[in-house]
Structure 1
Amino acid sequence: MQKKYLKKNFLFKIINNDIKKNKIKKINTRFPPEPNGFLHIGHAKSIYLNFNIAKTYHGKCNLRFDDTNPKDEKKKFVHAIKKDIQWLGYLKNKKIFYASEYFKKMYKYAIKLIKKNLAYVDQLSKKEIKKYRGTLKKKGINSPYRNRSIKKNLTLFKKMKNRKFKSGEMCLRAKINMKSNNIVMRDPVLYRIKNISHYRTKKKWCIYPTYDFSQCLSDAIEKITYSLCSLEFLDNKELYTWILNNLNIKNQPKQYEFSRLNLEYTVLSKRKLKDLVKKKIVEGWNDPRMPTLSGLKRRGYTPQSIRNFCKKIGISKKNHLIELKLLEHCVRKDLNKISHRFMAVINPIKIIITNLCKNYNEEIIVNNHPLYSEHGKHKIYFNKTIYIDESDFKEKPTPTYKRLTINKEIRLRHAYIIKAIKIKKNFQGKIEKIFCTYDKNTLNKNPKNRKVTGVIHWISKKNSIPAKFRLFQPIFTIKNPNNEKKFLKYINKNSIKTKNGFIEKDLLNHKKIKFLQFEREGYFLVDKAETYKNKKITFNKTISLKDKKNFMKT
């Protein structure tokens, strides 16, 4: 961790001050996801913060699954979360924690609150509880069951545990203050009945603690020193402290809040992401358009690029919208170093070299990276029929057009200068073939007294293989869909396009190469699932080579 980062981050300043005043000796943090979905880029910010704080101060960071709501929690989400955190570069050979491991202890703590007359069993429905709680302008009203005796509450709570009631029929609430200015403190629910099998504890329990009750107790049990959470939990801080104080827990964790990540053209709410999956707007949690870590990984983002992004956005107490181009800059910078350069033609048009014989086949050796020789070399082939991108030829060019046109020369990347002499169109008037000549004396060198205005990429037809290319745009058409109640109205219907083109055949001889830059096209990664499904090698486009001013026109 750089000293510059230590000074800028207000949380590090707090910890440094606590250490200086001898308030704390060992630093323990935690990252507590609920296993009801996949992690997204917003979670990466919290992971980066918590694990790096622990690393900086030679402490530890617990991965603890907040699995206290069995309705949507599944083993597959647990596995996905572990895998994503390991991919980010954390959680190496570390013990995994689960809130469900503490159910027995939490039940005893609940009994303790009842015995202190600080909790009671309520029979109001969920709707009635909300109504009695009031609003920001209207004070709450006491439940008619609030003044039950301690003995009665203990009996009813035991019956709740022993499956004597239906789901939602009873709940345990803290007895605090229904007139509090903080709505969270108006007798919050601590336990609820859910007659659902838990993915870990199966049917052992039918009552489950709420997030507010389980989080502070799990932190205390694990001796967490700093409970770091996003600003949305600021109002819950008072309850966090109230529970720990009234249970006489010593060495209490300290809760501090930081701004959550908001990213342009996307939503970072698990509920909203779940809607995208359920409504089949995307292919699943790991769709390359999704801001989930598995989606970003599948698209071609690297762990280093995500970590660099988290470092650049920093930690503050103020929420603001982060520009998507910052995330893209981070991955582009990382991929530029590690990606091997090959050529692919995504929108192919055929070129016939008229002054080459049919069987001519010239082998040319090229570098896999212009700067790093350790990336090795590969072969390309030049012969009579090649493909170029259709955008690299215009029959009637504009004055500023600098690519191939009739009687104009252009250089083929790594090869020769060619000149278009005529074209052939089909019945619909579309160009089918372009006939060119080549200058045999221009292999990787410019001719004297002739100005060549551009370089284009190409592929030999004989030494190419067909491939699919999946090109992406943001899922949403507006910068901040999070602000919209009906956010699904702003889905970008053109967020994915599939093209059929060609790649260099020699790429098959370099199977260990993972990250690719197709010259002039962008950075790409093989999509193994789509390749298997299509029975044709399929690439996901990670990012363009340069920043795009308008995402909707990429």
Structure 2
Amino acid sequence: MSNLEKLFIGIGLTEQKAKETAANKKLAPNLETVIGHANATGGVEKAKGALLYTLASTCTKNTLAHLPYIAKAIADDRLTTGDQVSAAIKFCDKAQKFTDKEFNEACGVGVVVTREEINKAVKELFVKKKADLDAKRYQMLGVLLGALRNELRWANPMFVKEELDAQLLAYLGPKDERDDLKALKKKEKAAKAADPVAAVEPNNKVEDIAKSLKYVFEGELARLHKPGENPQINPKLMKEHLKRTGGKVVTRFPPEPNGYLHIGHSKAININFGYAKAHNGITYLRYDDTNPEAEEGEYFDAILDTVKWLGFEPYKVTYSSDHFQRLYELAVELIKKDKAYVCMCTPEEMKEHRGGEQKGPRSDCIHRNRPIKESLEEFEKMKNGKYPEGVATLRMKMDMQNPNPQFWDLVAYRVLYTPHHRTGKDWCIYPTYDYTHCLCDSFEDITHSMCTTEFQLSRESYYWLVDALEVYKPVQWEYGRLSLTNTVLSKRKLNTLVTDRHVNGWDDPRLYTIASIRRRGFTPEAVNAFVRELGVTTANTVIPVERLENYVRNHLNDIAPRLFLLTEPLKLTITNVDPSFTLDCVINAKVSNSDKDRVLKFSRTIYIDASDFKESEDPNFYRLSPGKSVGLLSVPYPITCTGFKKDKNGKIVEVTAFYETIAQIKPKTYIQWLSDANSVNVETRLYDKLFLHANPQSKEEVPNGWLSDLNPNSLEIIKNAKIESSIADKPVGFKFQAVRVGYFCIDKDSAKNHLVINRTVTLKEDNKKSA
């Protein structure tokens, strides 16, 4: 272990994270500087270490000079929250010089917002928003929370939420049908039926839809060209191409290995692999590994694992780096054709030549018309490490006056001294995406280069380059991007959520990375069926997340065994049987969707769920309450409640009941139960939407920024639930339906004596039990 790794572990990073950070050429020196100036080389508490890491990982270029100052502010406890550190970075990014007083004011140093002030602010906000509150009631929660966070910038967010909840309850009363979004949505059913992105129930089995290739022969995909129909600058290129491929369809899925794949990528995977399969073709998995600064080994493994989990097998796994030598040789050829030149402009100068912020007139770079021989020599110097990073680039000589910005002399090569994960230090010049992508498509004889519509403008530059080099030209075709409501999918935002610890890693089940939904218990069949039934068009679509959940729910309903789970166990004693009484109750395999029958021990003392008992009389409550009877699933006779006990705090801790073996009582409903003999404790994690609004990036609905829209109740952890002991020997990922509760799976955090389960989705009827 290196000294740098030990240093980073000292501030609370895990061994793996410390190793990754030490290898990051940009982050490591920043973090080392920050730790030094915070006098933390001997280690600090984890909370303070997290602030130092946030500072080092999110500081801007203009903030670098102020890192020592901000680090000392963290060390002396002037900055104690992530919000304050973010404010410090923002302030120092704009201020060249400042006083302690100016810094403290900008960052909320020493500001204490009392509960009385929070109380007053909430009351004043209610007055301002009275009309909206009366109309929208609890649906205003997110808007109110965002407004308060803006006004009470430095207040404890937990205190703000508690006060807001209390005043909402006092003003509106308990939630009722007006706050039931599901009921309200039924009124919009007619409108949603006409909406192409509205949630609908699949008519067929999910597994059948997941296997269907019908989507390939409908809409836009059905009208794509056949191999051999795409024109070439030289006809012989097509003849050679067809000779190599035999006329097969050849597609590729080309992710950049700089992050985890998300739900949007599942569409790309299904389109590329599905289109090739439908036409008896092949699909490459190609890693676009041309940026060694952003790539990490774990991402390569995760991407291949995801593709295979979704049920696809690449024809071959390739890398853009496989072609580094050939790409370099073609760059030299491009220079010799006077279609590329070495540019010494700074990024700022390059931006100005392209019209700048004002989008003014564009002009040629002063190096554009340098002699070919000179560019060849300069490019060789770049290759041989004669220039530091950022000084020289190779640019394609395109058309600066073309209205398409993808023709404004794009950069083909830049200097980077970060070692590459595959080629090590063999190269210090690396090709850009704009140069590499189309050429690798050509090298691999891709017939259909499919990408999202954000690359539509790149199609012309794609064709320009392959024609300039007179190599085989694939066809680029664009389709609409897939997005979901109540989440974010951009790698930058996902990285912020993970780095700033708003979530617990890239596979946190609240995210929509494939690793996350897999951990949450989604099935690949459900994901594929969801994507395939959406169809393929050129329109970008934002799909309600409930629609995806519906496919998951339907599939799990078909395949998942049924088990008993009590999220809030309540002791129940049957008073008319002996203490030694037991009865074997058989859970039928067919009824429980299992491979065999199983037996639960029914005894004098059992447990029911607390939600299934009500101490007061309610004619609409059909479960257990004093004097009422209820059936216990798989138990021969019902029970009748005879009483209950409370502890000194008024909490019901035990119910007593009579086992009705003689009276002919027909219960109105049945509930699940467990006994000590057939149950184990389980930590139960209930997940909800990570963001309060459908579009957390909407400036109108979320004026304080997307992070202000985080749902404070997106995760509820229940420590002492009870579940059938038969689950104890099941593997991580085991999926089941908790009867009358929801669909769950075993989480990877489970240990030998500590079982952890995740709620995948609620029951179709709702997560709240009906009467």
Instruction: Using structure 1 for the length normalisation, give the TM-score.
Output: 0.92
Q: Give how far 1:150 is off.
A: 0.9
Question: Whose helix proportion is higher, 1 or 2?
Answer: 2
Q: Give how far 1:399 is off.
A: 3.5
Amino acid at match of 1:439: E
Task: Give 5+ residue unaligned stretches, structure 1.
Answer: 442-446
CA contact (8 A) 1:139 1:178 kept: no
Amino acid at match of 2:573: I
In structure 2, the CA distance between the partners of 1:32 and 1:278, relative to structure 1 (3 Å rule), is same
Match of 1:463 among 678, 681, 684: 678
* Aligned equivalents of 1:332, 1:324: Cα separation in 2: 12
Q: How does 1:454-533 map to 2 (within 5 A)?
A: 454-483=669-698, 486-499=705-718, 500-508=720-728, 514-528=734-748, 530-532=749-751
* Aligned equivalents of 2:746, 2:293: Cα separation in 1: 36
CA contact (8 A) 1:32 1:63 kept: yes
Amino acid at match of 1:378: R
CA contact (8 A) 2:418 2:428 kept: yes
Match of 1:5 among 185, 190, 215: 215
2:391 aligned with 1:172, yes or no?
no
Q: How does 1:356-395 map to 2 (within 5 A)?
A: 356-370=577-591, 375-395=595-615
CA contact (8 A) 2:561 2:592 kept: no
Amino acid at match of 2:642: I
In structure 2, the CA distance between the partners of 1:211 and 1:516, relative to structure 1 (3 Å rule), is same
Question: Whose strand proportion is higher, 1 or 2?
Answer: 1
Does the residue aligned with 1:111 lie in a helix, a strand or coil? helix
Greater Cα offset, 120-129 or 166-175 = 120-129
Post-superposition Cα deviations, 1:132-153, rounded to whole Å, max 9, x if no partner, equal: 2126853322222222111111
* Aligned equivalents of 1:9, 1:433: Cα separation in 2: 62
Greater Cα offset, 316-325 or 58-67 = 316-325
Q: Give how far 1:503 is off.
A: 0.9
* Aligned equivalents of 1:380, 1:541: Cα separation in 2: 23
Post-superposition Cα deviations, 1:102-150, rounded to whole Å, max 9, x if no partner, equal: 1111111111111111111111122322232126853322222222111
CA contact (8 A) 1:44 1:306 kept: yes
Does the residue aligned with 2:332 lie in a helix, a strand or coil? helix
Amino acid at match of 1:496: L
Match of 2:621 among 398, 401, 426: 401
2:305 aligned partner? 83
CA contact (8 A) 2:602 2:675 kept: yes
Amino acid at match of 2:651: K
Amino acid at match of 1:434: V
In structure 2, the CA distance between the partners of 1:160 and 1:397, relative to structure 1 (3 Å rule), is farther
CA contact (8 A) 1:364 1:381 kept: yes
In structure 2, the CA distance between the partners of 1:46 and 1:236, relative to structure 1 (3 Å rule), is same
Does the residue aligned with 1:481 lie in a helix, a strand or coil? coil
* Aligned equivalents of 2:506, 2:692: Cα separation in 1: 20
In structure 2, the CA distance between the partners of 1:312 and 1:59, relative to structure 1 (3 Å rule), is same
* Aligned equivalents of 2:766, 2:287: Cα separation in 1: 39
Post-superposition Cα deviations, 1:146-168, rounded to whole Å, max 9, x if no partner, equal: 22111111111111111111111
2:573 aligned partner? 352
* Aligned equivalents of 1:236, 1:325: Cα separation in 2: 34
Q: Give how far 1:270 is off.
A: 1.8
Greater Cα offset, 275-284 or 41-50 = 275-284
Aligned residues: 539
Amino acid at match of 2:544: E
Q: Give how far 1:546 is off.
A: 1.2
Q: Give how far 1:185 is off.
A: 1.0
Q: How does 1:438-457 map to 2 (within 5 A)?
A: 438-440=659-661, 448=664, 450-457=665-672
Match of 2:363 among 129, 141, 152: 141
Amino acid at match of 1:476: F
* Aligned equivalents of 1:139, 1:227: Cα separation in 2: 33
2:344 aligned with 1:123, yes or no?
yes
Match of 2:434 among 205, 212, 215: 212
Q: How does 1:289-304 map to 2 (within 5 A)?
A: 289-304=510-525
2:484 aligned with 1:263, yes or no?
yes
* Aligned equivalents of 2:359, 2:351: Cα separation in 1: 14
Post-superposition Cα deviations, 1:487-542, rounded to whole Å, max 9, x if no partner, equal: 222111221111121111233366699221110111111113x113x941110111
1:52 aligned partner? 274
Q: How does 1:15-94 map to 2 (within 5 A)?
A: 15=225, 25-91=247-313, 94=315
Amino acid at match of 1:300: G
* Aligned equivalents of 1:80, 1:307: Cα separation in 2: 18
* Aligned equivalents of 2:297, 2:747: Cα separation in 1: 25
Post-superposition Cα deviations, 1:163-189, rounded to whole Å, max 9, x if no partner, equal: 111111111111112222111211111
In structure 2, the CA distance between the partners of 1:118 and 1:540, relative to structure 1 (3 Å rule), is same
1:97 aligned partner? 318
2:205 aligned partner? none
Does the residue aligned with 2:630 lie in a helix, a strand or coil? strand
Does the residue aligned with 1:192 lie in a helix, a strand or coil? strand
2:639 aligned with 1:429, yes or no?
no
In structure 2, the CA distance between the partners of 1:20 and 1:77, relative to structure 1 (3 Å rule), is closer
* Aligned equivalents of 2:543, 2:592: Cα separation in 1: 32
Percentage of matched positions with identical amino acids: 38
* Aligned equivalents of 1:405, 1:371: Cα separation in 2: 27
1:234 aligned partner? 456
1:444 aligned partner? none
1:546 aligned partner? 764
Q: Which has the higher contact order (CA 8 A, sep 6+)?
A: 1
Post-superposition Cα deviations, 1:241-286, rounded to whole Å, max 9, x if no partner, equal: 1101111113x11000000111011112122212211111111111
Does the residue aligned with 2:341 lie in a helix, a strand or coil? strand
In structure 2, the CA distance between the partners of 1:436 and 1:186, relative to structure 1 (3 Å rule), is same
Q: C-alpha root-mean-square deviation of aligned residues, in Å? A: 2.4
Task: Give 5+ residue unaligned stretches, structure 2.
Answer: 1-210, 232-237
Q: Give how far 1:13 is off.
A: 2.2
CA contact (8 A) 2:565 2:721 kept: yes
